[in-house]
Chains A and B, each alone.
Chain A
Amino acid sequence: MTTKTFAASGLGIAGSIGRRALLVGASAAMLFAFAPQSFAADPSGELVLLNWATGNEADMLHALEEGFVKAYPNVKWKEINLTTNGDQRGAIRAALQSGEKADLFINTWPAFRKELADAGLLKDLGPLWDSAKIGDSLSDSWKALGSTNGTLYGITYTYGDRSAMFYKNSTMEKAGITTQPTTWDEFVANFKKLNDAGITPIAIGAKVWSHGEWFESMYEHLNGVKMAADLAAHKIPWTDPSVKNTLKKFAEMLNAGCCGTAQSMLAMDWNDAADSVWKTGDHGYQMIGMWNNDYAQSVHKLKEGTDYSIQQFPAMGAGHDNVSSVDSKEFSEFADATNKDAADAFLVWLTSADAANIIASHGLASPSNKVDTKLYVPVMQKAAQAVATSDVQFVLGDLLPGDLVDEFRVQLQKFIQDPSDANIDAVTAAVEAKAKTFD
């Protein structure tokens, strides 16, 4: 009865507004009904982004903003730009505590995501993932990477291969290395060739943080991503044999003449290490994030492929060689976002072919399966291929909470100063003592 009444009423209205209008309205209703988005079909208003990206990444971000506005012309972007040096988390915290209001922000630290989520500041994006069918563009592994304790808080828009070793072709030619090593033994055997040519094989910038990269990739290759994740979550202690054996392997590498003196490593930051690979050619390899690709081109004017390339971390033969350490950047939405419709629309659009291709054309990798991989520069193609075919684990330094990461890096510095077995026991005990304070 009720249905009939409504139907009759509807027909009555249809009769009064005309058949064409009815068709247009019905079509719009159909489109709206079948559209994957759960947000308003035409979001509008100001969309506020808490931004700390600079350089090429800021350029890409602006291109993404323009692309989104083309798709949703009624949205207007506003950026709250944080200008700070070093770790950006302090600036983000200060901005939030001082009352800055934003809809979206960029995050790259899972430990920071947990801090924000625990404080109730982030929106659960799980319902959006389901309703907008984001899973059609991003695989479940990216959903897992953007989740904390099973709840999705971040939509990944780019990632980097942190198990990629950058090298300059002319440096390798000078040392007589014509093919890149794929196994650990080949890699270590090349140290002599490089040292004989007056080149220190590996540039490890241990002044602040980048010395952790080698430990992490080594740990994953020796123990697998599951154990690496468990170590990050402190499900296994830092005094575990898996940690000690990894440090012993690291010690073998140091003793084989990989990296020069401990003091020279501790005097270099990551960019000093990069300069010594790209500019002076004093060092052979550097393992660092994919931003080094941009650094080589923009600062040192090198051409990828012809001047330099990357080689994936060598196989160590411990049964876990199909692994890659990765980092990623994600957009998160604040729980108290003012313009939720526009924020949701942007997060969904971010996984579209348009957005993915903007990211790729800026020399960065997109996790979306809609990306046109032909847009990738050669180094990025190699990195994307390696990550796509690997078990991935987020870089350990960004997973550790609070000042545990500081302790981890300082103890690794101590290890570099003295890579003896006795000191390995001491440094692992010190990290474990700090880790226990977070349990």
Chain B
Amino acid sequence: MSEVALSSRGSDGKSSQVQGGERRLTPLRRWIADAPAAYLLLLPVLVLFAFAVVYPLIQTVILSFWDIKGLGKPKFYGLGNFVALAQDANFRQAVTTTLLWTVSTTVISVGAGWAIALLCSLAPRQTLIPRVMIFAAFGVSEAVTGYVWLQVYRGNATGLINAILNATGLGAFAHPWLGDSQTAIWCAIIAYSWAQTGLPLLVIYAATQAVSRNVIEAAYVDGASAMAIMRYIIAPLSMPGVRVAIFINLLGSLRAFDTIYVLTGGGPVRSTETIGYFMFRESFTQFKLGYGAAATLVLLAAVLLVSIPAIIQRTKVTT
């Protein structure tokens, strides 16, 4: 490593030596000189992070090694909770449901958000109101989303879907949507995806707006049709936004709970029980805190599995 001069750029744009031209710092001495200030500035965040993330995480890890049933005396259980999880058919079903849920909600919400963003990019001004409306749904809490869609899916004639089917002569297709193990999971997926579409729309739309006008105009001058410009220029260049949207949606849907709690309560027959719901049921309904903590750590591992490669990739891009 060669020695570097510690310099700053003045308002006139010219570089100037901080301590005079004769003073040069080794990387180590530079690090020593900068570190206290850097860590002092980071301290509030580090304290908050330690209090809100690290401490609960350590507690969760400790809890996962204990067998706790209700208010009974805890017993040290080692890895027993993890072994029990692996043998628990309900947990295995929850893992399968979580995979289906995560992939489906991400594909639907990012796919819909991407499609709408591309359409909106063709007429930014005219689509302002629809964009705001779709994004507003993202601001609605998941529980409220659940209650809204509960009215849509009601099994009797007062449910919106069944009312529309009855009114249009398609009453034969009216159905207790949330009472059927086959349809309940898809109903919950659609409800959740509806609420989540706003964020991909916003992120991907921003990416489309970053596409240079010159490139689009050049393509137009070269005789490219609107469809071709969309397919070969805007869509590929919006991919960074799509990747960010996929990452955010994957993380959110892995942790999803509220919508499922309100819409189906994990049923019928546990058909909509994700790991997040399983964790809630074991921890807060059954109060098996050790077992619930073990499930939480499995969920955390899944979240890290998704997020670490993405964080590494984003870090490489930005440094």
Contacts and interface: CB of A to CB of B under 8 A. Distances in A.
Count class of interface residues, chain A: 35 or more
A93 B269 contact: no
A388 to B, nearest CB: 34
Contacts of B111: none
B51 to A, nearest CB: 17
A267 B270 contact: no
A212 to B, nearest CB: 14
B70 A207 contact: no
A208 B180 CA distance: 14
Contacts of A267: 154-155, 176-180, 268
Given A93-B287, A115-B70, A414 B179 contact: no
Contact of A87 (B71, B264, B270, B285): B285
A177 interface: no
A268 interface: yes
B179 A115 contact: no
A280 B158 CA distance: 10
A54 interface: no
Contacts of B155: 263-264, 267-268
Contacts of A93: 70-71, 287
A406 B287 CA distance: 13
B238 to A, nearest CB: 40
Contacts of A261: 176, 179
B77 interface: no
A317 interface: no
Interface stretch (A116-124, A143-151, A337-345, A352-360): A116-124
A417 B180 CA distance: 9
B91 to A, nearest CB: 12
Contacts of A414: 269
Interface in B168-189: 175-181
B131 interface: no
Contact of B269 (A115, A282, A413): A413
A73 interface: no
Nearest to A403: B286
A262 interface: yes
B69 interface: yes
B72 A115 contact: yes
Interface in A67-124: 86-87, 89-90, 93-94, 96-97, 112, 115-116, 118-119, 121
B71 A115 contact: yes
Nearest to B270: A410
A94 B292 CA distance: 14
Contact of A417 (B71, B72, B178, B269): B269
Contacts of B282: 403
A402 B267 contact: no
A276 interface: yes
Contacts, number: 90
Contact of A264 (B70, B179, B287): B179
Given A93-B71, A93-B287, A118-B72, A263 B180 contact: yes
Interface string B261-283: 00011011110000000000110
A377 B298 CA distance: 53
A265 interface: yes
Interface in A16-67: none
A266 interface: yes
A266 B286 contact: no
B14 interface: no
Given A267-B179, A406-B286, A413 B267 contact: yes
Contacts of A413: 267-269
B267 A207 contact: yes
B180 A280 contact: no
Contact of B176 (A119, A121, A263, A280): A263
Contacts of B179: 206-207, 261-268
Interface in B262-319: 264-265, 267-270, 281-282, 284-288
B287 A89 contact: yes
Contact of A121 (B71, B264, B265, B286): B71
Contacts of A86: 285
B267 A276 contact: no
Given A264-B155, A282-B156, A410 B70 contact: no
Contacts of A403: 282, 286, 288
B9 interface: no
B29 interface: no
A87 B269 CA distance: 19
B213 interface: no
B23 interface: no
A264 B155 CA distance: 6
A410 B155 CA distance: 20
Contacts of B73: 119
B176 A410 contact: no
A132 B65 CA distance: 47
Nearest to A119: B71
A206 B286 CA distance: 20
A266 B267 contact: yes
B72 A119 contact: yes
Contact of B265 (A89, A116, A207): A207
Nearest to B183: A263
Contact of A276 (B156, B181, B265, B284): B156
B286 A208 contact: no
B70 A402 contact: yes
B71 A116 contact: yes
B182 to A, nearest CB: 9
A86 B280 CA distance: 12
Interface in A237-263: 261-263
Interface string A281-298: 010000000000000000
Nearest to B72: A119
Interface string B35-72: 00000000000000000000000000000000001111
A29 B284 CA distance: 52
Interface string A211-255: 000000000000000000000000000000000000000000000
9 contacts: A119-B70, A261-B179, A266-B179, A267-B178, A267-B179, A268-B155, A276-B156, A406-B286, A417-B181
Interface of A: 86-87, 89-90, 93-94, 96-97, 112, 115-116, 118-119, 121, 206-208, 261-269, 276, 280, 282, 402-403, 406, 410, 413-414, 417
Q: Which 8 A-B residue pairs are closest in the complex by CB-CB distance?
A: A267-B179, A266-B179, A267-B176, A267-B155, A263-B179, A266-B268, A263-B176, A119-B71
